[in-house]
């Protein structure tokens, strides 16, 4: 995407005004070639069928014993003791009810368990959502920019919804909600603790309704599990440089993003928005690339309880 780095007006940012039922906001779109190497869905289903810890009363030791005897969720559904609890999970896997499976995995396994990555590999392309938002701070403070990345035939399409003043926050939130599929697989970085929670809080503040129940994949947990001993710094920018080999041409630290936006609100100078838009957009792209890298890493490893 080519931006005019000497932008003097909001129109110079390359976006367009988007009319919503809750007022206007600015939409900025960009596309990038991106063909992720998705794990084989049949292998993903086979690995998830070994998630016997979904069943009430099965802990790690019993799970390993049952798996060694050849049990999967489908065989366990006929077990005299565990069948009643196993059958709904086997049905959810057969139907690929990813949000329900994700809820179960979150209760029985760690937030960085490879099964969650295998779960994401079952998602249809249109269900995957790469999400990053910028706000003025804590979850009670306004959200002024949301970046949403979607895969489309070998490309990553990033749509950014920007509030040009705080009165447009409601439009940004409503448009973000409209952008999400009914059963999304949300992929982010530190998104469980921040992005998703803040979106939910701000939607509730305006009475705009609730977010759909997602299968949520927070890649921060996987980065820490795999690379923390070597990297130490598991910030997204650190993982970008040392794992993905990416260097941003223009970036500002996350902590400065609210200050740049406040400077824009005071001065109305678009030059303060350019680094914010670039920072948000690159976060979305890096999250998508990181998911591809994690898929590759875990496709080579055996099941780990």
pTM of the full predicted structure?
0.92
**Topology of 10-38+123-299 in CATH?**
Nucleotidyltransferase; domain 5 (3.30.420)
Question: How far is 202 from 6, CA to CA, in rounded Å?
Answer: 33
Question: How far is 95 from 271, CA to CA, in rounded Å?
Answer: 49
Range list of β-strands (E), the chain? 16-20, 23-33, 128-135, 143-151, 155-162, 185-188, 215-218
pLDDT in tens, 216-246: 999 999 999 989 888 887 889 889 999 999 8
Inter-residue contact 283 to 253 (CB < 8 Å): no
285 CB contacts (<8 Å, ≥6 apart)? 32, 34, 149, 156, 158
Regions in the chain scoring below 70 on pLDDT: 1-12, 299-305
Inter-residue contact 218 to 224 (CB < 8 Å): no
pLDDT of residue 4: 45
Nearest residue to 148 (alpha-carbon basis) of 211, 97, 233, 222: 211
- 137 burial level (CB within 10 Å; 0-12, 13-18, 19+): exposed
Inter-residue contact 4 to 264 (CB < 8 Å): no
Inter-residue contact 114 to 304 (CB < 8 Å): yes
Domain boundaries, the chain: 10-38+123-299, 52-108
pLDDT of residue 1: 47
The helix/strand/coil state of 72 is coil
Inter-residue contact 176 to 148 (CB < 8 Å): yes
pLDDT of residue 38: 87
Inter-residue contact 221 to 116 (CB < 8 Å): no
Inter-residue contact 159 to 148 (CB < 8 Å): yes
Inter-residue contact 58 to 50 (CB < 8 Å): no
pLDDT of residue 253: 87
pLDDT of residue 298: 78
């Amino acid at each position: 995407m080519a931006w005019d780095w000497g932008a003097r007006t909001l129109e110079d940012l390359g976006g367009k005004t988007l009319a919503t039922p809750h007022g206007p906001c600015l939409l900025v779109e960009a596309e990038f070639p991106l063909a992720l190497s998705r794990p084989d869905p049949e292998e993903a289903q086979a690995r998830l069928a070994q998630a016997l810890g979904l069943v009430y009363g099965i802990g790690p030791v019993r799970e390993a014993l049952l798996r060694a005897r050849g049990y999967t969720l489908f065989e366990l559904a006929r077990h005299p003791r565990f069948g009643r609890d196993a059958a709904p999970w086997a049905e959810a896997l057969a139907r690929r009810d990813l949000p329900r499976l994700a809820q179960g995995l979150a209760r029985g396994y760690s937030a960085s368990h490879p099964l969650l990555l295998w779960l994401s590999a079952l998602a249809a392309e249109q269900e995957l959502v790469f999400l990053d938002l910028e706000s003025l701070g804590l979850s009670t403070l306004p959200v002024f920019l949301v970046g949403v990345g979607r895969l489309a035939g070998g490309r990553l399409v990033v749509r950014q919804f920007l509030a040009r003043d705080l009165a447009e926050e409601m439009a940004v939130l409503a448009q973000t909600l409209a952008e999400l599929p009914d059963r999304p697989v949300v992929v982010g970085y530190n998104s469980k603790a921040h992005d998703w929670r803040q979106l939910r809080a701000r939607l509730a503040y305006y009475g705009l309704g609730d977010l759909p129940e997602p299968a949520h994949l927070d890649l921060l947990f996987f980065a820490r599990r795999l690379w923390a001993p070597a990297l130490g710094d598991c910030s997204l920018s650190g993982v970008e440089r040392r794992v993905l080999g990416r260097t941003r041409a223009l970036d500002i630290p996350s902590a400065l993003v609210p200050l740049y936006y406040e400077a824009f609100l005071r001065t109305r100078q678009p030059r303060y928005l350019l680094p914010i838009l670039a920072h948000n957009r690159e976060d979305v792209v890096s999250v998508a690339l990181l998911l591809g890298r994690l898929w590759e890493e875990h496709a080579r490893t055996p099941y780990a309880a």
